[in-house]
């Protein structure tokens, strides 16, 4: 892909980083004799705050993520689905989530602030006494103090609320926790560990124990082998690069374990996976149910948690916070009645707060209009996928797209983006 002027700048910057520091200072190469604060950041993506860069980097996978990416300025920007673009200073609020373990085998106590949802799968593996192979491919590690290792729960139920962050989540007075208050391992200040907080990406992080940079499901839309943006977990989409815990557990138990998912959309499959092993085709999928409570009760009644092999059920809820809270309370009560020794996990996918700008510009149409061609094939929170055939035909580079995005203004007249950059610039963030 052509990258224009920014690619040239990036190559120069990399060369400068590799040069001996003494030689640079001796010849004042690249203004190395100037005060650090007087030298502008030479590499795209580098002007963003360090913490924001780290979270975007964790959410990026080359070959899967958008061609051109951006971080919103100040008031923020949200997609039509309400998923916010990465932004500063709001990023820490966007991906702050609660994480709660309760039920069988849980050691009560406060989990450390900043605990990532990538630690949920390793902790469940520890709980059921499962030693997953190749831990180096996953960022998450077990919370050793959260559970009694090898407690042998017959059933694990993971409940995930979509579009909710820690700021809208109350630890007190919620039905799901009434019975277990004082018996949970919990934090209200966990983190998704990555941006953007697209549910498809976060659910796959929960399911695999790795970040999007490792599992490759970077959002609801990802790039396929032909370069097209397709829905994650669809028949056309590439699979997760690493297996989910339910995938590995089902394979290790020779399909004896029951694996199920109750969710509203196919893109939610990252919570359990199901496409990693060729012979892994017997999961119980209830997709699109308008009554997840009844769907869960029905699945449990078919025999979940009735033998000595731990079963895993994922439940993805959406709607208002009060509605999901009531549903969770009913699910917990119903499951506990049938399988008293169930272990539960509750978390969320991060905040879906809308843009503070009531009339933000449409990014795709604005870029297309500025460049005089329909170069944007799809827009996702955090970036745009480009039509490479149109770009080649019109002699348009990704740097031209970056320039068009940098020029966009909010309805307040301020820049819409704090920085726009080719997606590959994220891979070189270590040079910042």
Rounded Cα gap, residues 53 and 429, in angstroms: 8
Question: Which tokens belong to 68?
Answer: 């051109």
pLDDT score, position 33 = 42
Dihedral sign from CA coordinates of 112, 116, 121, 122 = negative
pLDDT of 194-250, one tens digit each? 999 999 999 999 999 999 999 999 999 999 988 899 999 999 999 999 999 999 999
CA angle 102, 190, 126 (to 5 degrees): 50
pLDDT of 374-427, one tens digit each? 999 999 999 999 999 999 999 999 999 999 999 999 878 889 999 999 999 998
- Other beta carbons within 10 angstroms of residue 275's beta carbon come to 18
Name the 3-class secondary structure at 222. Answer: strand
pLDDT score, position 413 = 85
Rounded Cα gap, residues 314 and 267, in angstroms: 13
Asked whether the predicted pLDDT for residue 38 surpasses 50, the reply is: no
Question: Which tokens belong to 146?
Answer: 């959260």
Computed over its alpha carbons, how large is the radius of gyration of the chain?
23
pLDDT above 90 coverage of the chain, percent: 62
Q: Is 241 within 8 Å of 216 (Cβ atoms)? A: yes
Rounded Cα gap, residues 335 and 57, in angstroms: 38
Helix/strand/coil percent split, the chain, to 5: 35, 20, 45
Q: Could you tell me the pLDDT band of residue 8, with boundaries at 50, 70 and 90?
A: very low
Q: Could you tell me the pLDDT band of residue 184, with boundaries at 50, 70 and 90?
A: confident
Q: Is 379 within 8 Å of 79 (Cβ atoms)? A: yes
Q: Supply the mean pLDDT for the chain.
A: 85
pLDDT score, position 109 = 87
Asked whether the predicted pLDDT for residue 21 surpasses 50, the reply is: no
Q: Which residues contact 41 (CB under 8 A, 6 or more apart)?
A: 47, 432
Rounded Cα gap, residues 75 and 427, in angstroms: 27
Q: Which among 333, 321, 336, 346 is positioned nearest to 100, based on CA atoms? A: 346
List of domains in the chain: 4-90+355-431 (no CATH), 96-348 (3.40.720)
pLDDT above 70 coverage of the chain, percent: 83
Q: Could you tell me the pLDDT band of residue 353, with boundaries at 50, 70 and 90?
A: low
Rounded Cα gap, residues 123 and 186, in angstroms: 13
Mean pLDDT, residues 190-194? 95
Q: Which among 71, 66, 20, 18 is positioned nearest to 44, based on CA atoms? A: 71
Tell me the range of 31-35, 169-173, 336-340, 409-413 where mean pLDDT is highest: 336-340
Q: Which among 77, 63, 73, 1 is positioned nearest to 218, based on CA atoms? A: 63
Rounded Cα gap, residues 105 and 102, in angstroms: 8
pLDDT score, position 171 = 52
- Other beta carbons within 10 angstroms of residue 322's beta carbon come to 9
pLDDT of 112-162, one tens digit each? 999 999 999 999 999 999 999 999 999 999 998 777 755 778 999 999 999
Asked whether the predicted pLDDT for residue 74 surpasses 60, the reply is: yes
What global pTM score does this model have? Answer: 0.88
> How many CA atoms lie less than 13 Å away from 106 in the CB half-sphere?
26
The DSSP string of 385-398 is EE-HHHHHHHT--H
Question: Which tokens belong to 121?
Answer: 């799968």
Q: Which of 60-74, 132-146, 161-175 has the lowest mean pLDDT?
A: 161-175
Q: Could you tell me the pLDDT band of residue 27, with boundaries at 50, 70 and 90?
A: very low
């Amino acid at each position: 892909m052509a990258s224009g002027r920014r690619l040239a700048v990036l190559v120069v910057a990399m060369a400068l980083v590799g040069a001996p520091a003494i030689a640079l200072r001796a010849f004042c190469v690249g203004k190395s004799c100037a005060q650090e604060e007087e030298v502008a950041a030479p590499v795209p993506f580098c002007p963003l705050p360090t913490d924001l860069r780290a979270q975007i980097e964790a959410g990026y996978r080359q070959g899967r993520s958008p061609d051109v990416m951006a971080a919103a300025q100040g008031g923020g920007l949200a997609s039509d689905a309400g998923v916010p673009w990465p932004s500063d200073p709001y990023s820490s609020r966007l991906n702050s989530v609660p994480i709660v373990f309760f039920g069988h085998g849980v050691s009560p106590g406060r989990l450390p602030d900043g605990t990532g949802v990538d630690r949920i799968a390793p902790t469940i593996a520890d709980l059921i006494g499962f030693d997953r192979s190749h831990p180096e491919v996953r960022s998450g590690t077990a919370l050793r103090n959260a559970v009694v290792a090898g407690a042998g729960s017959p059933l694990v139920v993971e409940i995930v609320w979509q579009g909710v962050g820690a700021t809208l989540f109350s630890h007190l007075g919620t039905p799901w926790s009434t019975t277990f208050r004082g018996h949970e391992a919990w934090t209200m200040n966990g983190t998704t560990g990555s941006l953007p907080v697209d549910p498809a990406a976060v659910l796959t992080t929960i399911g695999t124990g790795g970040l999007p940079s490792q599992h490759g499901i970077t959002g609801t839309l990802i790039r396929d082998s032909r370069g097209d943006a397709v829905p994650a977990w669809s028949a056309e989409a590439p699979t997760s690069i690493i297996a989910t815990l339910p995938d590995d557990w089902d394979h290790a138990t020779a399909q004896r374990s029951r694996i199920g998912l109750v969710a509203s959309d196919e893109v939610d499959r990252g919570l359990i996976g199901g496409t990693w092993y060729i012979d892994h085709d017997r999961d119980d999928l209830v997709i699109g149910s308008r009554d997840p409570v009844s769907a869960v009760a029905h699945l449990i009644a078919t025999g979940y948690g009735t033998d000595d092999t731990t079963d895993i059920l994922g439940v993805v809820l959406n709607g208002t916070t009060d509605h999901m809270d009531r549903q969770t309370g009913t699910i917990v009560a119903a499951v506990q009645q049938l399988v008293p020794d169930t272990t539960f996990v509750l978390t969320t996918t991060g905040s879906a707060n809308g843009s503070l700008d009531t009339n933000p510009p449409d990014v795709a149409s604005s870029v297309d209009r500025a460049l005089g061609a329909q170069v944007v094939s799809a827009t996702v929170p955090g970036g745009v996928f480009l039509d490479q055939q149109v770009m080649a035909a019109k002699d348009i580079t990704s740097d031209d797209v970056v320039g068009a995005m940098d020029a966009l203004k909010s309805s307040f007249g301020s820049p819409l983006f704090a920085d726009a950059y080719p997606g590959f610039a994220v891979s070189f963030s270590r040079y910042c």
